[in-house]
Structure 1
Amino acid sequence: MDDTTHNSPDTSGTLDEALERLHSFGPERDGWLSNHAPMAVEALVRHGQAPGVHRWLDHYRAKLEDMPARFTEVTPDNWREALGDPRRIADWTAYFERETAGRPWREVLAEWWPRLLPGVAAGATHPVIRVGHCVRTLLASGENAPRVAELAHGLGYWAARHQPLPPLAPLAPAAGAAAALDAVDRVPDQSGGIRERLGQLTGFPVWPPRPVTDSDPARPVTDAGPARTRPATDPDLARARLEELVRAATHRYAAYAHGSPVMLVHAATAPNAVLRTLPALPRELWAPSLDAAWAASAAVTAAYAPARPADYPAAPEGLTPEEVFARAAAHGDDHTIKFTDTALDVGGPAALAAALRSIELNPPVL
């Protein structure tokens, strides 16, 4: 992955101001559509667009709803019954605010990450993406009250929307991430929303492949996830495979985005959120994180990819990553901003072409 385009950690205070503005609002609107503002403003600040953040937020304000009312307190004794209950968004957020106030945020994250991974596709993958943006800031810029509160909001959203994928059969193994995404079967009925589409999933290609022996039985990644996927048990190998997946999904977007320019960004941004979180996690969690990221990327691909690719233009010679991100910021669409942020993580002409494709296909909002 390319780190050459990353800007220095924010010293303007803009991100913290933006997060404080946003924390009185809930993570959703209109029943279940996600609030993308915390993720988008983190990306904007990260790539040198801090001066325009508050203007962007002023425009986005119409899409924000107040945090929903509390329902019943989540406790260490009843959290299992509250998991996946969207009525408990405010309860879960309060729970994680208490947890992160009482002990280090890394400790809270390490405890809850394996509990939440089975629901990585929950909320159309937005909760894990929000956590990934937050963890990137905590690692790069250090912790303070707004950033730790943002982690509580992200984890609370994930816990409230937690919903595992249906049981899935192992399909033919694929040699690489790009081949695995190409081999994902589209869901038969693509007329409904993401929850209806994910409910039609039946199986994924096995990736990354690993030989099965009697002495090495299959180890499930999640309670209901792709149990046939053999994790790369070496943490560094798992991280390399995850980088491969993010790169493949980013490149693939350029040819397939016409099927659903908004939703298909998540095939890349969700695994990239997992990748961004790895350095904050114990290394023994890196392999199951890879498997969950593959499940999320494959699920979005199955749900929204069109049957055939389309031609797209290459990135113009001489166009810099900074110029591409400036175009995304001027375009203003939250998904475009976040996808371009991931494309800059990947780096290279193919990723820039994919970012330009998102700018072309998604309607501008500024």
Structure 2
Amino acid sequence: MDTTGMLDEALQRLHRCGPERLGRLTNHAPMAVEALAARGRAGSVHRWLDLYARKLEEFPAGGEPVTTANWPSALGDPRRAADWIGYFGREVAERPWRDVLTEWWPRLLPGLYGGSTHPVIRVGHAVRTLLVGEATEPRLAELGHGLGYWAARHRPVADLASLPGSDSAAAAMDAVTPIAVQDGGFADRLRRVTGLPVWAAAVTDPDEARDRLAELVRAATHRYATHGHGEETMLVHAATAPNAVLRSLPALPRALWVPSLRAAWTASAAVTAMYAPRSPVAYAAPGIVTPEEVFERAPAHGDEHVIKLTDTALDVGDEPALAAALRAVELSEPLVQDASRGRAALFTPGRSGGGAVPRRGP
């Protein structure tokens, strides 16, 4: 894990920014920089942020503080993002972070689909850092930002018909029927998902739930290699969302593992239904590559979803998963600095690692 302080510096930069831009697009930077640091690329963090900075907006204004008394009325209100982040910032500063996560996980889990599953993915990256490294103030604050974003974008999905499935995760994903009309944004498509195949519904043992969740992550990652052309960006979440849940399990009571599996399957299957192509294409990795070589290509390419899928592929660790990461590199547009817009619109040079800090005012 990062021992140089680069990750903490990057998180401090990013906590001056909002969780979204343009009112709907997610700020992926906290997730990407955590992945870079976790994979031994802390030296690339600030350089990558300098390129990504043009996609960031200032932290939004708050309204009424969220409290233990009024939180139900604020749940799922994206206008209250700053209020929610402030609430969880106070919580993780005053209480053990595992206690906060345990209290709120079952409340937030039904709304895992909000924000196109990005909030739970951000939480999963934050939890991984806290589990393997020191609980520094920026890392605790990052968990607060992730939980606050999740609460603000909380979106439950109910009344889904149970359709015939299969015993294996891969076969169950093959049984997912793509929605008939594949246009519009995430929310529009999600409303068209009326039923999903049954998978792992009989699981009651926490250890089996963990193992089945790992199976789901593996199957969804493998599937990207042959189905990612359906939507190269959104289909990444079919793998990264359940992996965020899997990464969080060690910090959660075992009693929450089974419901976490069920929510992760529904989210992964729903994303598959919303964006999967009608037919797969054959794909194999071009030559033999090592995990290290594959991850070298992710920051060189720069796209945030490529970085996050490659990070998940390395968790899976087999050749089909590495092939999926390389497929994402092929399908996705690389992150390049736009000289015509640059980062000057929102950022000016700062002192932290040669990076940038938001410019205040108009």
Q: Normalising to structure 2: TM-score of the pair?
A: 0.92
Following superposition, the deviation at residue 106 of structure 1 comes to 0.2
Following superposition, the deviation at residue 261 of structure 1 comes to 0.5
Q: How does 1:238-249 map to 2 (within 5 A)?
A: 238-249=209-220
Does residue 43 (structure 1) correspond to residue 74 (structure 2)? The answer is no
**Do the aligned partners of residues 86 and 209 (structure 1) sit closer, same or farther apart at CA in structure 2, a change above 3 Å counting?**
closer
Following superposition, the deviation at residue 166 of structure 1 comes to 3.9
Q: How does 1:139-218 map to 2 (within 5 A)?
A: 139-210=131-202
Question: Hey, what does 1:214 align to over in structure 2?
Answer: none
> What is the root-mean-square deviation in Å for CA atoms of aligned residues?
0.9
Unaligned runs of 5+ in 2: 337-362
Question: Hey, what does 2:302 align to over in structure 1?
Answer: 332
Residue type of the alignment partner of 1:196: D
Question: Hey, what does 1:349 align to over in structure 2?
Answer: 319
Q: How does 1:1-366 map to 2 (within 5 A)?
A: 9-210=1-202, 232-317=203-288, 319-366=289-336
Of stretches 241-250 and 46-55 in structure 1, the one that deviates more from structure 2 is 46-55
SS of 1:11's equivalent in the other structure is coil
- Answer yes or no: is the 8 Å Cα contact 2:76–2:152 preserved in 1: yes
- Answer yes or no: is the 8 Å Cα contact 2:52–2:335 preserved in 1: no
Following superposition, the deviation at residue 263 of structure 1 comes to 0.5
Following superposition, the deviation at residue 209 of structure 1 comes to 4.3
SS of 2:227's equivalent in the other structure is helix
- Answer yes or no: is the 8 Å Cα contact 1:166–1:202 preserved in 2: no
Residue type of the alignment partner of 2:51: H
SS of 1:73's equivalent in the other structure is coil
SS of 2:196's equivalent in the other structure is strand
Residue type of the alignment partner of 1:60: Y
Following superposition, the deviation at residue 314 of structure 1 comes to 2.7
Q: Normalising to structure 1: TM-score of the pair?
A: 0.91
* Deviating 4+ runs (over 3 angstroms): none
Residue type of the alignment partner of 1:364: P
Following superposition, the deviation at residue 173 of structure 1 comes to 3.1
- Answer yes or no: is the 8 Å Cα contact 1:166–1:199 preserved in 2: no
In 2, Cα distance between equivalents of 1:142 and 1:287 = 28
- Answer yes or no: is the 8 Å Cα contact 1:173–1:209 preserved in 2: no
Residue type of the alignment partner of 1:273: A
Unaligned runs of 5+ in 1: 1-8, 211-231
Following superposition, the deviation at residue 167 of structure 1 comes to 1.6
- How many aligned residue pairs are there? 336
SS of 2:299's equivalent in the other structure is helix
Report the identity percentage.
Answer: 66
- Cα distance per residue 1:236-275 (max 9 Å; x no partner): 0000000000000000000000010000000000000000
